[in-house]
Structure 1
Amino acid sequence: MAVKQKVVECVDPATTEVRLQLLLRALQGTPRDGLHRDKVCVDIVVSLGLCQIPSDLLEFKQFISDLNRVEGILKQECANAELMYATLRALYNEISDASKVLSPAMSIVLQLIDIDAIPSAVKWILNSGYSDQSLERALLNLCTWLTKWTYTSNLGPLVLSFMQGLEADQHFDILLEVTLATIEPLFMLLILPDSRKSVGPVVLYMLSKVQNSPDAFHKIIPCVQHVITSLEKENSDTSRDYIHKIVRLCAALMEHFPGYTALYGKLKPVLQPYFPMENYKELLHCKSWADINSTVSIRSSLGKVGLTNLGNTCYMNSVLQALFMTKLFRNEVLLMDKITMPLFHNLQDLFVLLQHSQKCTLSPNDILHLARPPGFQLGHQHDSSEFLGYLLDVLHEQERTVSEESLQQPTTSNGSGMNLANTIVQQSFGGKTMTVSTCDHCGRRSERSDNFRELQLSFPNNSENHSVTSLLHYYLQPEKLCGDNQYHCDKCKGLTDGERVTHIIETPRRLILTLKHFGYDSVSQQKTKLLHRVKLEDYIQLGEINYELYAAVVHCGSSVDSGHYYTFAKDNEDWYKFNDCLVLKTTAMQLCELKPPETPYILFYRSQDSEEPDNLQRTRLSQRLQSVLNKDTTEFESEKRKRPSRVYNTRQSRGNDDPPPPGCGGGGFTNSSSNMYVC
């Protein structure tokens, strides 16, 4: 039997223990010859990526023992440069594949590289002609492993060297993306002595380098007290050293990003007992990643503008970008000329600047203060769907109130009628449902019509294969009313069994679907996230109308109270990823290939019966909005004159010729029981 066949067979069993043992058996029974050695190394790498880490302590110890034996075989096979090259190439190809979720056990391949040779290995990767998407995925995988696995001593140094190499090549967009995605769990690992040695330098590097935006710093603020308290209890030389470093860095960053009084008000008492008297600003004297606020190249090349995170406000930024990319809604907002509507005016200002400003980022501070829902606290993470609903409600009510005052018409009791239908929000997103309830006992039917601006789609309990279409069908299928959910029949004068079904009787021009990934756990009495994967269709059908997907708000994280929101949106045929201040070109495939804990949360579809309008020309803007743009241009030109001109090439071309592989050797495993898997 060929080597490849033997190794592939070992990935079929359900358990990791059997998988690794069969892998070892296959490898130990395989004759070594020049024709097969490169295949052996590649197959070992691929197989390691499929090995899940056992949670049971005894099984974990056996797992580590088996990994030691696999590592020994790898060292034998990679005795020359060519085989090392093939092995590292296989590792990189796996970790840069967005379609795969890989085990951190694969990181043991890094132990074959001398720690002094890690910079050479990184340089080899960066000069091998890989795409930016590939580099970002690889770094994200490595950082994710770093949050879960303390066994590979070379992993932390490799991550740090990889990021330094990307910085040298001016891949600031990749560094910012990965930092925002991983800074929280990495920071929390500072409480563990086994993790601190490898994770600590990476965390300090990330926080000191992101000087263009407070996003990364603000993400770790809720964790600072817990980390410092844990380090204080440990009371070791390294824990005291990291308390000192964390406090100095937080003090420097608070001064570097002023104006967040509410957020910093909770942080300062935590830092006060250790607050440095001097020299803490030196931590930010290093060369930072590119200040994207000072460059015009990103705006001119992509034509899109980011939004500053004002302290865990990604839930708001993601929604605002999705609404801005809804051209039908955007144009109507920009053309609105009625007065006494503060939120509308501020949304107009934001939209006109997102479309025409030369700046790379804008602050949505005014929107935050006018449209922050009751109960939403500054500096805290909140639900983007709740924010969207509240924002649309306020816009709708403001316009309806002004219309009624101008027409001197009273508000209808049920909130329906001419004024409701004529608001910009309702014209853009409004539809109507008819709910029909039928009594099983007497057959009486009752009907109720409701206006809607979004449909909230639940997940059925008895299915694992989900798509947007299947969730829509589930929403519209008849529901049995029985048990605790009986129907109150007016004719029978009481609760009876029955059936309820919802029909869409008026379809919206722009359809908003919220996938209800967040539920309530009655045992823990907390909100939880359902980590379902949903197939996203480019086109769906609602009634007789076909809809095309054009935007999606994504939640990254395993909890409703943490994680991060960002937006994918389509403009003509191009897709963009809006991640707070960072805007990147992307593809629909990247959206469709997301896997939990990254889950599409709010989907925006365009009716194909409703024509997509062109961008509103500047000549059609009101005099007030022209003045807003003139002021913004003046500010931009003034800022540009104050700063040195810096244009960074963040999409450098690379040759495809393979350079010599880096040196190898050294760095085997230790058998210390202190190295454990971080759950």
Structure 2
Amino acid sequence: MAVKKHQLVADKSNQPDLAALAQYFQLMNDQSQCLPPLQEMIKQCHNIIQCLARTAGTADQLWHLLQPVEHFLLRCVNSVYNNVRHEVFRTILDKFYSYISDPESNACPATAAVLIIIDDSDEDEIMSSTRLLVEQTENGPAGPRFHAALSCLYRWLHDWHCTPTLGFWILAYIKALEESAHHDILIEASQDYLVSLLSCLALQIPIHQATANVIFHVLASLRESVEAFDRISSMVGEVLVHLASDNGQWSRQLLQDLVDILTVMVERITCCLKEDAQEMFRNKYADVILCLERHMASNASKYLNLPAWRSRNAVSSGNNLDTQKVGLINIGNTCYMNSVIQALLYTRQFSSYVVAKSLNTPYWETLGTLFAHMIFSMSSKIDPERFFRHLRPVDFSADSQHDSSEFLGYLLELFRSYENATLVNHDYSRPPVLNGGPRNRLLQPGASDEQQTESGDSRRSTSPCPGSSGSDSSALKRPYDVDPSALPPRKRFRVQEPTRRGSAIDSIFGGVQLTRVQCGSCQSSSFSRDLFRDLQLAFPEKPEGKQHSVQSLLDYYFSKESLCGDNKYQCRECGDLRDAERSVVIENTPKYLILVLKHFKVDVKNLKQTKLMHYVHYNQTISLPTVPNQATSAAYTVYAAVIHKGRTIDSGHYYTLVKDNGEWFSCNDCSVKKVEENALNKLQRPSTPYILFYRRLDIEEPPAPTFEQLPRNLRMEISATNKIYVEAVRKLRSD
């Protein structure tokens, strides 16, 4: 950088001043057909930039001198052939960028005059030029140069008003940095100049649309930043008064956009703060909030559709807010539902999809609304009663506690059955019609049902896993209490797809098992495919002292099994019962893998089921055995676990451990608190993980939806609920 600085100083000493350049280019412009050769033209453009970079003065003072210079620049890019024009255009912007991105240079605002060459109607050209500059900068020490360029542009936006295309180029540069995910630089530089940017709205000179676009884009992108709000809080009232004093249509539009953005800024910040911090925030900025309340926010500003900037180092920098974790009140033996809902909320692909669909898909509305309240509620806990009225299985009594695994299976199958519904007004009061269990046999084209063989292997049970939840006095209704002969036969489907077409449930949670049975006599094989949404893992009989792990239970589940004795295989080729070998692999891996650990066994002597207290190592990562050439990853990482706390399967309590942004939290009904990284493996008996949730390693978690992405009526509902909560807290504290 020292060499570059020396070159800049040398350039300044050898260049004429702006007055001399203006006189020279006025003579050239008078000869309309005369332009220098390409290399000479480029050199003269460079001389202009170098001269402007050291020229002091306001736009009004320099206007007459800049006119012939700007006219010459326009002739250079508009009066030559396209290929030459592109070269001239690129070299001008390259030289211009070398000045504004040099941390050791201090280019004057007059340099912005060279942006006259930009055609503000050609957004593609502006974006492509800025993208290229960003890409070239990333090859070196990008951080300081990006910060220097953005800081320089922000200074000019306040001080220089005679080049409207300056705003267009700044916005394009911001978008290029956004595309490259340089949010930390955008946040840091923008917060440094936020006061200067906002003050542009209070200047006596007319503000360009391009300038307003930059200001509101930056404000809306920083709407989750407490520091940004703090920096501008002292001048918000002044700017609002200035804009309100002008009855012109343009000033009214500026005022409305500003009120909308700042109102959402207050809502988003308070939504993300804990109870005490919320009250402190509102007390500290009471005057600003009162100013905003005097104007009616419409929540219709186009800038609120922009994604918020979020720092990669949000926790340490304190610039952005971590969303508050919200608990669910236990409304009477509902821990089995609370625990499952918490795990599904942090299954981000699922919860984000449900919230997005709640706008126009009636059957997603109840669950989507519940998720939205859990994300944006200002309270640390919410009452889920009105949601659970519709989500509770029809045969689950409201005053009894049930099994969380059964509830999860029911919930996923319930929404799977609704996915092909065409009802405009969905009626939750009507009993649901389910499509069948979570596993469905997928037949190969042309294969008969007789060719598909099922084994009674207890390791691969397809029935719901009996479990426990609730109080000591609650007895559970279990599937094994029903006579198996009275159950309808399993529904089967002839399909060629690995998962059912159009099903979001199956695309997120569904996988396909491939089962092979090989005859020990003729070596012929039969194959069957099963769609699954969970794997239920039994414990093998192992010698004393040998440790179980999730991976070892998976290995046991997929280990080869001998079919012999009373469990011989009916071979189609041999036409008789034969010894055979059965093996299972995964043909299609699910995005999210649900594992149910069968912590129970049958006490034959007393004819009852008891809970197993085996110690299990809960692997952070696991892998599944797959068919050769499997297209997707078979490795998974854990992100949630439903825990059963109790010594018997007929009593106890459910809660959930979840991982969010690299940190683990315990969601125990209405209480949510941070826990240690290895909390899953430090549980003390009788607490045992019952349902484990794993995410495939190649799956990228989408961010939680922003408040502005919610349907308007849902935003209003949540805002109203939060307002009631805040007033209740104020009243309680005043009493």
**Aligning the two structures, in what range does the TM-score lie when normalised by the shorter sequence?**
0.3 to 0.5
Q: Which has the larger radius of gyration?
A: 2
Using the size of structure 1 for normalisation, the TM-score is: 0.48
**Whose RCO is larger (CA < 8 A, sep 6+)?**
1
Name the TM-score, length of structure 2 as normaliser: 0.44
